[in-house]
Chains A and B, each alone.
Chain A
Amino acid sequence: MAQIPIVHNLHQEFVLYVSIVDTENTMDEVCQTAAQLSIGFEKNQQPDVPLRVRKVGAEKPFPRDMTVEEAGITPMTSLELFYEAAESASPEPRP
């Protein structure tokens, strides 16, 4: 159990943030932490659609109940947080 910084890109935000998460946090908890930071989040939120997390450059998101440690997320890893429904809008070219 340790706190580590992550870099995250929240769906439709304008700036990348650095947040501190716990290695025991699940992906859903990571999303919750990140979402609280976003200025534009109220406008962008989609209450009925879960946010998902994936590494920048990866195609598939991590399972929602997977922990940061289990996902192999190391300090300053860059993550994308996106709504599943909005995946087609993702900027990252998929491998």
Chain B
Amino acid sequence: MALLDRADWYDIARNTNWTPKYVSEDVLFPEEQSGALGLPLEVWESYDEPYKVTYREYVRTQREKDAGVYSVKAALQRANFLDQAEPGWVSILKLHYGAFATLEAMASSAESRMARFGKAGGMRNMATFGSLDENRHGQIQLYFPHEHVHRSRQFDWATKSMHTNEWAVVAARHLFDDIMAGRDAVGVALMLTFAFETGFSNLQFLGLAADAAQAGDISFSNLASSIQTDEARHAQIGGPAMKILIENGKKAEAQRLVDIAIWRAWTLFATVTGPSMDYYTPLDRREKSFKEFMQEWVFGQFERTLLDIGLERPWYWDTMLADLDTRHHGMHAGIWTFHKSVWWDVPPGISRAERAWLEEKYPGWEETWGAHFWDPIIARFLKDGPVDTVLPSMVQLCNMAQVPITGTPGWTPGKTGRPLRDFPLEHEGRLYHFGSEVDRWIFQQDPDRYKDHLSVADRMVAGMIQPPTLEGLLDYFSLKEGEWGEDALGHRWLEEYRQEQAQAA
């Protein structure tokens, strides 16, 4: 049977909206699910997705992608790459799978919301494929780590993480509930696909694929590339929706949602990707620092995208750029110190050569993070032997980002980075704590949305974690022996400093 060219029928077919006779438009597309900001169906008919694909084309392409990825995996499975891989790379894999596998599966539901409640036919069409994409991403990122569970139970956190109250998982859930699970169709289009995927995760998967290839992990590199090509397509759902909103007087609302999502995505990236790039990746495999990557790919390119589409830079843009010198160093310091609180082994990444690299990429690192955080720890370890570091008390977590509130240690005016400080807010008799003015601003945009959530620190204070000890906390995190993180190098990195000390004596 002869097939029509796609261009001959696609636009008509995907716009087959009918006029509802038995229910009103508001019932068919309730505002709380569609989020169309009162714009009627006819306005949304101008939605023009830049990436047009039919179901037949989609299935054929996806089948080819899956065949490629799974066959590479099968071919390389016996090579046992992971047994020889450097510890930092193994940690990146464990972190990645635990953080993202089930979140991707959840994203399928968010895409489905656009597929059902998006008022634009093009959005519904693309989101249908987006939903299938995310289902695939969930499945494949659960399947790949499964072969490694016999090597380490930490790989089982791909499946387990989102069913726990581990602190980083709580942070991830809080973010994705806000921009994905708990948003209407337009909210998901703007916050998940436009802000998070276009601005951050699409580029992240590009970088991950390149890093994996550098590390010799061909199987994971193929996996990341395969996912990225899906992301590059469905990330484009938000752009045309943004155009319609701006053209119809809804720019302020769109800007507000994008501003919220970009900052929240930034705090996640600083927690997960920052330490991975600047501390976990083996030194000879590093192509760019996290700061360079963010400046060039994320902030540089995304800034142009924002301006091109008619939005403004988020009001906190300069604050975010300045945060590049502090936030991820603080996340790494906290995570390494309390490595028992995460499901991956944490490399310190502070050999003399690595420190020289950090100083080159972040001038002033030595006189702040080096002198005021790492050197005291090294001195203590050299004196007493490496002890199992645990943060000595509960740290205060940001009531928005749900991660520790950090600053640059030893900061004084004139030094790079920023000082440690709290941004408190009293609301309806409860005192909230935030790591930045932006986190506090997000809360103030919709206090009812956020006010009832308790951070892990709040839960500890409220007596919800029993006993209120390290053991009680690890139990609350569902981290058992063999799952909780260790120093990824088994403190062998200390030998270099021991030799320095011996030579100096």
Contacts and interface: CB of A to CB of B under 8 A. Distances in A.
Interface of A: 5, 7, 9, 12-19, 36-44, 56, 74-78, 80, 86, 88-92
Given A40-B409, A80-B421, 18 more contacts: A7-B396, A7-B422, A12-B372, A14-B372, A14-B373, A15-B396, A17-B395, A37-B393, A39-B376, A40-B410, A42-B376, A43-B375, A44-B409, A56-B421, A56-B424, A89-B411, A91-B411, A91-B419
Nearest to B409: A14
Interface of B: 330, 333-334, 337, 369, 371-373, 375-377, 379-380, 389, 391-396, 404-413, 418-422, 424, 431, 433, 457, 460-461
Contacts of A91: 407, 411, 418-421
A44 B377 CA distance: 12
9 contacts: A9-B420, A14-B330, A18-B457, A18-B461, A39-B373, A40-B373, A43-B375, A56-B421, A56-B424
Contact of B433 (A7, A14, A15, A19): A7
Contacts of A36: 392
A24 to B, nearest CB: 20
Contacts of B411: 12, 89, 91
B270 to A, nearest CB: 14
B395 A39 contact: no
Contacts of B420: 9, 13-16, 91
A16 B395 contact: yes
Nearest 9 pairs of A and B residues by beta carbon: A91-B419, A16-B396, A14-B409, A43-B376, A78-B422, A16-B405, A37-B392, A18-B394, A89-B412
A46 to B, nearest CB: 13
B391 A76 contact: no
A37 B334 CA distance: 14
B123 to A, nearest CB: 42
Nearest to A80: B421
Given A40-B409, A43-B371, A18 B393 contact: yes
A75 B461 CA distance: 9
Nearest to B392: A37
Contacts of B396: 7, 15-18
Contact of A39 (B337, B407, B460): B337
A41 B404 CA distance: 18
A42 B376 CA distance: 7
Given A12-B372, A42-B380, A56-B422, A18 B407 contact: no
A56 to B, nearest CB: 5
Given A13-B409, A17-B394, A18-B393, A78 B424 contact: yes
Contacts of A12: 372, 409-411
Contact of A17 (B379, B393, B421): B393
A37 B393 CA distance: 7
A57 B422 CA distance: 10
A14 B379 contact: no
Contacts of A76: 431, 433, 461
Contacts of A88: 413
Contact of A42 (B379, B404, B405, B424): B379
Contacts of A16: 395-396, 404-406, 420, 422, 433
Contacts of A37: 392-393
A55 to B, nearest CB: 9
